[in-house]
Structure 1
Amino acid sequence: MITFFMEKFKMLNFRSYEDADFEKLCNIHDQARKQELKFANLEAAFIPFKIASKKEQLFEDYQVYVATKENKVVGFVGFNEEELGWLYVDPKVQGQGIGSKLIDFTLENSTRPFYLEVLEGNPAQKLYLKKGFITIKHESGKMPGNESFSVEVDLMEYK
C-alpha cells in the first residue's frame, strides 16, 4: 500500500483492486462518467460500469488500483505499461487533489512514453497538462465500448 498525505492531514492510500471494491467502483464511475460525458455533449452515450468494464476489458487489459481515504474508496485508476485508460474520482470528493495523486501514482508505475485520450470538453485535460502531458494529436472516431457514438478526443503523451 502506498500512502500520500492530503490536505487537512488526511491520508490517501493506494492499493490493488479487490473484488469487494466492485460496487463502489460502479458508483464512482457511473456518477463521474456522466459528468465527463455531459462536458462532451454525449450524455446519451453513457454505459454503466458493470457493462463498460467488461466491454472495454478493464480487468483484463489494465492494472487497477483504488484510492482510499479514511478507509473509503474515493477513486480508481486503470493503466497498463503505455496507457492511462481509466481514472475516476467520486464526485463528492473531487477538487481535493485525489485525481492529481492518482496521476502521480500512475506515472510512478509506468514506462515512457505514456499516453491517454481525453474527450473534447473534459476539464480534466487541464490537470493532465499541469502534470506534464502534452497534446500530440486531435482525433475523431467511434467511442470505445459504445461505437454507435462518434467522439472527438485529444491524444496526450507524457515523456
Structure 2
Amino acid sequence: MQIRKYQESDFSTLCEIHDPARKQELAAANLTAAFIPFKVASQKDKTTVGFVAFNDEELGWLYVKPEYQHQGIGSQLIDFAIKNAGRPFYLEVLEGNPAQKLYLAKGFKTIQHESGKMPGNESFHVEVDLMKYEK
C-alpha cells in the first residue's frame, strides 16, 4: 500500500470511495436520507474547499483550505456532522490546534487531556484534548 499527498486529479476517485461508503454508513445508522454526494458537500462555488469525515460516534477529520478558513465553512461542516451523528459525539484535538475554539463555540466540551504516541506514526509524541458533544 502507498500513502501519499492528495492531488486534485484524485478528486473523482475520492468521490467514488466516499459516496458508496457514506451511503453504507448512513444506512446502518438509519440516516439514508441524510446522504449528500461528496462532490456537492465538499464544494463552494464549484471548487472543493474542505471536507469532514465522521461516523456515528466520532468526528475524525475536518479540513478547510487555508484560504477559505474563517468564512463559516468549517462551522457548516461541523453542523452537518452534528446533525447526522449520534450522541454523545466525540473528537480529539491536537494541542495548539486553533480549531479547538470553533469546536468549543459549537458546543463541544473538553473532557480529558491525553498524552501518547501519534496513531500511525508512533515515533511522534502528541498531546490531545478529548472533546464531547451531547446536545
- Identify the structure with bigger relative contact order (alpha carbons < 8 Å, sequence gap 6+): 1
CA distance in 1 between partners of 2:59 and 2:126 (Å): 18
Does 2:132 match 1:157?
yes
Q: How far apart, in 2, do the equivalents of 1:124 and 1:141 lie? A: 20
DSSP-derived class of the 1:137 partner: strand
- What is the SS of the residue equivalent to 1:112? coil
CA deviation string 1:92-136 (max 9, x = no partner): 111101000000000001000000000001110000000000000
Deviations 1:40-60 (A, max 9, x none): xxxxxxxxxxxxxxxxxxx79
Q: Which residue of 2 aligns with 1:140?
A: 115
Task: State the alpha-carbon separation in 2 of the partners of residues 100 and 21 from structure 1.
Answer: 26
- Normalization by structure 2: what TM-score? 0.71
| Structure 2 residue matching 1:103: 3-state secondary structure | helix
- 1:103 match: 78
The answer for the alignment partner of 2:4 in structure 1 is: none
1:113 aligned residue (88, 91, 94): 88
Cα separation, 2, equivalents of 1:148 and 1:114: 29
User: Does residue 1:75 correspond to 2:45, yes or no?
Assistant: no
How many Å separate the matches in 1 of 2:85 and 2:11? 23
Of residues 119, 125, 130, the one that matches 2:100 is 125
Q: Which amino acid is the alignment partner of residue 139 of structure 1?
A: E
Corresponding residue of 1:20: 12
Q: Within 5 A, what are the aligned runs for 1:85-104?
A: 85-104=60-79
More strand by share: 1
Count of aligned pairs between the two proteins? 106
What is the letter of the counterpart of residue 71 of structure 1?
K
Unaligned runs of 5+ in 1: 1-17, 23-58
Evaluate the alpha carbon distance shift between residue 146 and residue 111 of structure 1 in structure 2; reply closer, same or farther with a 3 A threshold. same
Please give the per-residue CA displacement for 1:14-52, whole angstroms capped at 9, x wherever unaligned.
xxxx95164xxxxxxxxxxxxxxxxxxxxxxxxxxxxxx
- Relative to structure 1, the CA distance from residue 128 to residue 21 in structure 2 (aligned partners, 3 Å threshold; closer, same or farther) is farther
> C-alpha separation between the residues in 1 aligned to 2:132 and 2:13?
30
Cα distance, 1:144–1:78 mapped onto 2, change above 3 Å: same
Residue segments in structure 2 that go unaligned for 5+ positions in a row: 1-9, 15-20, 27-36
- Distance in 2 (alpha carbons) for counterparts of 1:74 and 1:130: 22
Q: CA deviation at 1:67?
A: 2.2
